[in-house]
Structures are given as structure tokens and as C-alpha cells.
Amino acid sequence: MSDRKRFDRVLIANRGEIALRIQRACRQLGLETVAVHSEADAESRHVREADVALCIGPAPAGRSYLDTDALLLAARVTGASAIHPGYGFLSENADFADAVEAAGLTFIGPTGASIRLMGDKITAKRAMRDAGVPCVPGSDGPLPASMDEVQALAAEVGFPVIVKASGGGGGRGMRVVWDAKDLAEAVTLTAKEAQQAFGNPTLYLERFMQKPRHIEIQVLCDTHGTALWLGARDCSLQRRHQKVLEEAPAPGIPPAVIAQIGARCAEACRKIGYRGAGTFEFLYEDGIFAFIEMNTRVQVEHPITEATTGIDIVCAQLKIAQGEALAIRQEEIVTHGHAIECRINAEDPFSFMPSPGTISRWDLPGGPGIRVDTHVVDGYTVQPYYDSLIGKIIGHGASREEAIARLRVALAEMRVEGVSTNLRLHQDVLADPRFQEGGVDIHYLERWLAERT
Ligand code: ADP
């Protein structure tokens, strides 16, 4: 493991709202920031406000935000001695983390070895099972080459099963199989897709859980052996495996149950020598948690945990990377109230097609318990090259009802013109009686959308 060093200038290898979020944390800690951007993002807010800004390539991410050589060169010429990868792009690329450290810089995240272990879902599941974290039952490793053996395995696990790519991510590279007769074709197709999308055809198989909730545990680990869990988030409201709205804590799950699984996650982190921020993702059904994967980076939905615990996760990432010990003990972490995040996307509210264009009006909400994380300003142009997230509205209240009420006021205040957004979807979800009850499963939103049309 490399030495953690002090640094005073951080290169932010990302764009959009998370780049601004990281820049704010750096500023708060007295660190200088280097913004690197594509030609399309030259007018971005964090670029304008950075201590140093550098264009590293044209709009397509492959030639800018994903260009390791350009990023390392940018760090060298600007004198940055640490790199924060944000989420997406290179944040979970183990080779990038290794290259950063090999260049004598600090990677603000876990070691390349941890990213590699968790980036392969088969090795991740093994490591978690060995560390005492409950996993979804399934093939205990890659699928065998013989289809007869795969059939036997699936029969043992029990249909329906889900065939998943070991190197998969972003909700791609998986297929649900309801019946043994469809298994062979599903395996062939998914392997082909996995090879194309991730350069790795290795597959595994799991029991397909039919009505689970997506519950995740945030962890923070320093390099002195302390691993903390910061409560749970419920991210069950998803469309095409993409999260739409998240909340903390998870409604209806007793704190003692969360504490038990949280402690397991923290213990697993100690076992694998994890450092920095991370998230354990679980499916939760009939009172049972089943690990599906770990994200080795800060997540889009981190603000709801910040709201409920009072811990600044991005500042903590920076301090951990500086070699500081976490200044808080597990017993001191308490959850206050309830927080909900609405991801605001520039997209058609019905077809969900991206809606790039120039934002002519951008009126943001405010008031007690409302936090807005966005890089957008009046006149900002939403580019077609990147994801369509243009902001996050986070509502915090003493109770879930208060958080919902505050968010409903906030969303009603918000005015966006020039592009379409999913604001209306969020308003309708917050007004939905079943959502208000809490605890919907991961298929609820799609069922609800289908009924609406
Ligand atoms: P990715 O890395 O692509 O996000 P995950 O393994 O986290 O893949 O799975 C993404 C989503 O797919 C989950 O949130 C869930 O909706 C669904 N999913 C994955 N595994 C299962 C399973 N065993 N049973 C039911 N749904 C699953």
C-alpha cells in the first residue's frame, strides 16, 4: 500500500454536479483545485471557479474524461498532487488508480487492488461471503462451459434465475430466465453482450429475487484501521436499473436490522483493507439482505446520508486520502430525521429520451431542509455527450412526511425552461399514496409508469 501523503492541490477528473461538489469540499479544506474539461464543458461552473483550468480534449468522453494519459499529464503540468475521480468515468478503473499512484500522485479512493477485487462481481461476492456478508444464492463462481452443468446449477438455485456478467455495470449485461428451456440462449446472448460491452464474457448466475428492495450501506474507512458504516439508503425507485429517487433511512426496516448488516459491512472493509468511501448494495426481500455488489467510489445519492448523519462524505474522502484518522466513532453516528433525493434529468418526462439544449430559465427552490446540488446556471447548455443529470434536489425533515412535504414545495417552486425535465415525474411520485406509505420494491416505478400510460 502506498504512503498517504499530504497534498494541497487536487485535480478533479470529472464534470457536472459532482465536479462542483468536490471543488466545494476542497475549498472548504483549503485545498486548491484543478478543473480539467472537454471542449464541450469549457463554460462549466466549476471550470470557471477553479484555481487552474485545463482543456484536455474534445467532447466525447473517450477522448477527454476517460483519457488516462491526458489526465496524468494535466496533473503534472498544473502541479496537482492528488486526483479525485468522482463517480462514473474512471472512478472504478483499477488500472487508472494504479497509474495515478505509480505517477507519485494520491488517488482519492481505495487501492487499485480493492477496486479490482470489487469490480469483478464474482471475486467481490466471494470476498464478501468469506467476510460474513450475506449474498444472493447462486453459482459460486463463473458458469461452467458445459451447458448441462449450467442447467444443473440453475435447477439447484431454482428458477427464475438471473444471468449476469462478471464485469458488468450500469445495469447492463444481465438477463432474467424464467424457465430451463430459455437458459441456453440467455447464456449465449449475455456472454456475447458482455464480451462486446465489457471485454469479458465471464458470466455467473443468481436467484432472481422478484420483489426486492434496493438497500445500500455507506461506509467510510481510514488508513488506520477504522471502518464506519453511516446508515442505509433505499434506492428502490428505479427505471431500467437506473436510480430515480433515493431516501435515507430505509422506511420500515428496524434500525437494529440495519445496524447488524452495517456492522458486517464495516467488518468486511477491515478484512479487505478497504480505504475511503464505498457502498455495499443489497437486495432486501422477506427480511433478508443479499449482497449484489460494492461501489468503490462516492455515489450520486451521497447527500441523503450527509443530511441524516451530518457527516460530509466528500470532505472525509479528502481527509482520509491525506492520511488523517476518522475523527468520529461508530457509537457517535446517529441518524437525524429523513432525507430524500430527486435526480433531475434533462429528459422527456414520458419517453425518457434525453433532452439536450440551452436552459433559458433556471429558478431553484430553497427554504428549510432543501439542498440543491447542480452545476447548471441560466444559459447553460446541456450537452448530448454525457448523462442527462442536471441537478439533485435533496429534502430533509424531522420525519419522512416532513421531507416529502418540503420536497413537494421545492419542486413546485422550481422553473426550468429550454429543455424538458423529469420534474413532473418526481412530483407525481411524491404524491403517490403507495410511495407515501414507503417500502416499495424495485419494480414499483416501472409498474406504476406502465399503468399511467
Ligand atoms: P450493475 O452493476 O449493472 O448496477 P447490479 O448487480 O448492481 O448491476 O444490479 C443492478 C440491478 O439489477 C439491481 O439494482 C436490481 O434491480 C437488479 N438485479 C440484480 N441482481 C438481481 C437479482 N439476483 N434478483 C433480482 N434483481 C436483480
Q: Residue 84 in 3-state DSSP?
A: strand
Mutate to test the pocket of ligand 1, among 175, 237, 292 (most ligand atoms within 8 A of CB): 292
The pLDDT mean for the chain works out to 96
> What is residue 4's predicted lDDT score, i.e. its pLDDT?
55
Whole-number Å distance, alpha carbon 292 to ligand 1 midpoint, is 7
Write out pLDDT tens, residues 173-225.
999 999 999 999 999 999 999 999 999 999 999 999 999 999 999 999 999 99
Closest Cα to atom 15 of ligand 1: 241
Index of the ligand 1 atom closest to the CA of residue 173: 3
> What is residue 349's predicted lDDT score, i.e. its pLDDT?
85
What element of type H or E holds 112? helix 112-119
Closest Cα to atom 8 of ligand 1: 171
Whole-number Å distance, alpha carbon 147 to ligand 1 midpoint, is 23
Index of the ligand 1 atom closest to the CA of residue 238: 16
Which amino acid, 323? Answer: G
CA 95/CA 112 separation, integer angstroms: 7
> Among this protein's residues, is 275 annotated catalytic?
no
Which amino acid, 191? Answer: A
Percent of the chain with pLDDT over 70: 99
- Strand-pair partners of 371: 394
CA 228/CA 226 separation, integer angstroms: 7
Whole-number Å distance, alpha carbon 399 to ligand 1 midpoint, is 29
> What is residue 6's predicted lDDT score, i.e. its pLDDT?
86
- pLDDT at residue 3 greater than cutoff 70: no
Residue 4 has, within 13 A of its CA and on its CB side, a CA count of: 18
Q: Is the ipTM of this complex over 0.90?
A: yes
Write out pLDDT tens, residues 22-45.
999 999 999 999 999 999 999 999
Closest Cα to atom 23 of ligand 1: 208
Per-residue cell: 440? 416499495
Whole-number Å distance, alpha carbon 293 to ligand 1 midpoint, is 8
The predicted model gives 237-242 an average pLDDT of 92
**Furthest CA-CA distance within the chain:** 61
- pLDDT at residue 1 greater than cutoff 70: no
- pLDDT at residue 107 greater than cutoff 90: yes
The predicted model gives 93-118 an average pLDDT of 98
CA 232/CA 107 separation, integer angstroms: 26
As a whole number of Å, the CA-based R_g of the chain is 22
Closest Cα to atom 16 of ligand 1: 241
Closest Cα to atom 11 of ligand 1: 241
Question: What is the torsion angle, in degrees rounded to the nearest 10, for the CA atoms of residue 141, residue 197, residue 74 and residue 81?
Answer: -20
Write out pLDDT tens, residues 340-372.
999 999 999 888 999 999 999 999 999 999 999
Write out pLDDT tens, residues 271-330.
999 999 999 999 999 999 999 999 999 999 999 999 999 999 999 999 999 999 999 999
> Edge to edge, what strands does the sheet with 174-177 contain?
174-177, 161-165, 203-207
Residues with CB under 6 A from ligand 1: 136, 162, 168-172, 206-209, 212, 214, 238, 241, 281, 283, 292-293, 442
Residue 251: CB atoms within 10 Å: 17
Write out pLDDT tens, residues 121-171.
999 999 999 999 999 999 989 999 999 999 999 999 999 999 999 998 877
Index of the ligand 1 atom closest to the CA of residue 136: 23
Whole-number Å distance, alpha carbon 127 to ligand 1 midpoint, is 18
Whole-number Å distance, alpha carbon 294 to ligand 1 midpoint, is 11
Kindly name the residue from 116, 233, 264, 297 that is annotated as catalytic. Answer: 297
> What is residue 2's predicted lDDT score, i.e. its pLDDT?
43
- Cβ 101 vs Cβ 2: under 8 Å: yes
Closest Cα to atom 19 of ligand 1: 292
pTM exceeds 0.90 for this model: yes
Pairing of strands 213-221, 227-239: antiparallel
